[in-house]
Amino acid sequence: MSTATPVIPLTQALARKKNSPLPAILIVVGLIGAVTLAILGFLESRKSETLVVLVRDVPYGQQISAEDLGTVALPLHRPAQLVGVSNPAAVVGQYAARNLGTNDLLQPSMLMAAPPSQPVYPNGEQLNPDMVPVPFATTTIGPLTYRDRVNIGFNDPSGAPDLCDQARRAADGAPSIMPSPSGGMVRPYACRLLSSVRVLYVDDAAKIAYLELTPYQSHTIWALQAAGLQLWGERFGATSTPLAGLDRLDIGQVTLGDLEAAGIPGSSVEVPGRAKE
């Protein structure tokens, strides 16, 4: 049994099939949308924000004035580390929370509303409560930084027997005692008074270091100066072990064995002036 094949009219077979315009419309709309988004993204990336910067250095603890400030334009979309402050009026009158440099972009963490409770030096070091700063000449010390420590002593050319003990007791805050009678030969001597004193600030131009002392220690230093005694200092590293209080030392007490045992520089080689065996 055979199946008849349908016969398509010739006019229908020759007629051109019409395509749907929808795909083309969708492509055009997509292209227009992509171009529009690209333009909007470009315009958004070109947006900027005016932020506050410093035009000169401001040390820690110093109040910020309008003359310290400038502005700079930065992209609106930037890393979180560059948030910044946009209103200069919100900065004027604030205090630097650390040492700030020229061209620093001001951040809220760099500012504090109130000044430090203690004096602050140009290097940012702050005087501790109940302490006083004492200027001390660095001519006997040599190169020094605020990260170092200083030992302080004095020379007594008169050889007063109890001056060293009295001065050390005064520096420790203890009351004075009656001097004891001198026995034996009296010689000029040196006395190390204080050990591991904190350095607040070093003024290299003036060759002065500002040391942090208790009021009593400061008073003792001034009293020694009033007596005309020569003060001297020693650089002592911040990581060095503080020295115990030492008795006065005159040249008659110095022995070569003690010097070598103390590990003086060059003690491993022949000491100049040592007698030949």
User: Which is more confidently placed, 66 or 251?
Assistant: 66
Encoded tokens for 135: 């200027």
Residue 246 burial (10 A CB sphere; 0-12, 13-18, 19+): middle
Residue 154 pLDDT class (50, 70, 90 cuts): very high
Cα–Cα distance, 82 to 105 (Å, whole number): 8
Cβ–Cβ under 8 Å, residues 163 and 190 = no
Contacts of 49 (CB under 8 A, 6+ apart): 73, 74, 75, 76, 84, 86
Q: What is the pTM of this model?
A: 0.58
Closest residue by Cα to residue 156 from 193, 122, 125? 193
Cα–Cα distance, 26 to 21 (Å, whole number): 9
User: Which is more confidently placed, 249 or 80?
Assistant: 249
Question: What is the average pLDDT value for the chain, to the nearest integer?
Answer: 78
- For the stretch 6-35, pLDDT in tens is 655 656 555 555 667 777 777 777 777 777
Q: What is the pLDDT of residue 99?
A: 83
Q: Does residue 265 register a pLDDT over 60?
A: no
Cα–Cα distance, 78 to 50 (Å, whole number): 13
Domains of the chain from N-terminus onward: 48-112 (3.90.1210.10), 132-261 (no CATH)
Window from 52-66, 92-106, 114-128, 225-239 with minimum mean pLDDT: 114-128
Q: What is the pLDDT of residue 161?
A: 80
Q: What is the mean pLDDT of residues 120-138?
A: 88
- For the stretch 136-146, pLDDT in tens is 999 889 899 99
Q: What is the pLDDT of residue 271?
A: 47
User: Which is more confidently placed, 239 or 191?
Assistant: 191
Q: What is the pLDDT of residue 260?
A: 65
Q: What is the pLDDT of residue 101?
A: 87
Burial track 67-81 (b if 16+ CB lie within 10 A, e otherwise)? ebbeeeebeeeeeee
Sign of the dihedral defined by the CA atoms of residues 178, 181, 187, 191, in that order: negative
Q: Does residue 162 register a pLDDT over 50?
A: yes
Helix H segments across the chain? 10-14, 22-45, 163-171, 215-226, 256-261
Percentage of residues in the chain having pLDDT higher than 70: 74
- For the stretch 172-221, pLDDT in tens is 777 666 555 555 557 898 988 888 899 999 998 889 999 999 998 999 89
> Phi and psi (nearest 5°) for 47?
-70, 145
Cα–Cα distance, 204 to 124 (Å, whole number): 16
